[in-house]
């Protein structure tokens, strides 16, 4: 009789364990499916950023930036060119830190890392790296759409706590380029 009670208990524990494992598996895969860069871009209303953009200063200096999917729903490639400067990076969702990260390298071999946040269709990246003298810097880039074919990028200083300066140090205006 003890043998069947022990076996019954074992089988009940096994069933409970399997049920919990199945529930955890379903919950984890559902959470992972929702936490993709693609879903975050869509949820925050920042999908307008994807595409080719170009601008020109009042002095005639041209610049361009392109955001495109490099690995659908998981990686966005970004490429900037202008002002004798070129940068290439990738954006992805870091599930462990629950943040969108951008890493990249410029034409001088310097690398930088940034994190993105979005509110009300506006996207903000806080970036840090080192300048040509090896001194650290922090910059904030706030992207906003001015209409269906135009966007602006305001450049800010970033303090040690991650806060943006009160006023932008500069603004770049872009027009969407046709494919």
Residue 140 to residues 10, 115, 122, 171, Cα–Cα distance (Å): 58, 10, 13, 12
158 and 109 in a single domain? The answer is: yes
Cα dihedral 96/100/104/110 (nearest 10): -80
Q: Are residues 139 and 61 in the same domain?
A: yes
Query: pLDDT tens across 19-77, in order?
Result: 443 333 433 333 444 589 999 999 999 999 999 999 999 999 999 999 999 999 999 99
Same domain, 162 and 103: yes
Tally the domains of the chain. Answer: 2
Considering the domain architecture, whether residues 61 and 135 belong to the same structural domain is answered as yes
Domain of 21, in residue numbers: 2-34
Reply yes or no on whether the pLDDT at 129 is more than 90.
yes
Residue among 156, 158, 153 nearest 171 (CA): 153
Q: Are residues 25 and 46 in the same domain?
A: no
Asked whether residue 169 falls in the same domain as residue 85, the answer is yes
Q: What is the CATH number of the domain that holds 61?
A: 2.40.128.20
């Amino acid at each position: 009789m003890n043998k069947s009670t022990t076996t019954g208990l074992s089988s009940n524990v096994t069933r409970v364990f399997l049920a919990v494992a199945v529930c955890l598996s379903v919950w984890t895969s559902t959470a992972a499916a929702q936490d993709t860069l693609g879903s975050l871009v869509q949820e925050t209303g920042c999908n307008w950023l994807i595409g080719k953009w170009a601008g020109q200063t009042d002095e005639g200096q041209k610049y361009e930036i392109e955001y495109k999917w490099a690995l659908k729903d998981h990686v966005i490639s970004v490429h900037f060119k202008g002002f004798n400067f070129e940068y290439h990076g990738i954006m992805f969702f870091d599930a462990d830190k629950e943040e969108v990260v951008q890493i990249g390298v410029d034409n001088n071999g310097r690398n930088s890392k940034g994190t993105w946040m979005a509110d009300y269709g506006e996207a903000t990246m806080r970036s840090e790296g080192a300048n040509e003298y090896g001194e650290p810097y922090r910059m904030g880039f706030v992207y906003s759409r001015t209409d269906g074919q135009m966007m602006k990028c305001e450049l800010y200083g970033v303090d040690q706590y991650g806060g943006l300066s009160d006023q932008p140090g500069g603004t770049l205006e872009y027009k969407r380029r046709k494919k």
